[in-house]
Amino acid sequence: MKNRLAILVAGLLATVQVQAAELDKELVGDWLSLCKKASGNYLQVTSSFTADGDYTAKTVFYTDAECKRTMGMEVISSGKYRLGESVSAEGGESARQIDIDVHELRSGDMQLPGGKQKILQIITIIDGKLIFGDAPGIQAVTKGERPQKLNHTFYSRKQ
């Protein structure tokens, strides 16, 4: 009985490690989000992840729900990311912890507050959709708590 249990546990761990390795590889590249209503306007985010752990997120603001008419405003966040351990999200989905160190946050030539902060998030890729946790993972919003639930309504697709 002990041997069967040990084999079962080893098999589950091997499965998690394979999924984790796949996310490491699948995450690298450029991802374009859905168009999302926010504060009376709309936004779309292009996220880029490199194999070396660099990330950039460019948020473009629009006046229309199709994200075709830009307002001429962009916010760019850049820094480093680290994938952490595998977790089970509230809905039972497999996800990974991701820590993002924001080195710079700017709009045009203007530095914005929010640089030098750490974002604690969860992330997964399901059916080609890059899905983050349902809270922004920003210290001021979550008080340092990592989201536990995935936001299936706002996701990105690889470009």
pLDDT reading at 45 higher than 80: yes
Structural domain boundaries in the chain: 2-158
| Contacts for 41 with CB less than 8 Å, ≥ 6 apart | 61, 62, 63, 71
pLDDT > 90 in the chain, percent: 64
Do 62 and 71 touch, CB atoms closer than 8 A?
Answer: yes
Question: What is the pLDDT confidence band of residue 11, given thresholds at 50, 70 and 90?
Answer: very low
Pairing of strands 129-133, 118-126: antiparallel
Q: What is the model's pLDDT at position 8?
A: 44
Q: Phi/psi at 92 (nearest 5 deg)?
A: 90, -5
pLDDT reading at 18 higher than 60: no
Q: What is the model's pLDDT at position 157?
A: 98
| Contacts for 6 with CB less than 8 Å, ≥ 6 apart | none
Q: What is the model's pLDDT at position 39?
A: 86
* Rounded CA separation 154/92 (Å): 18
Does the global pTM surpass 0.75?
A: yes
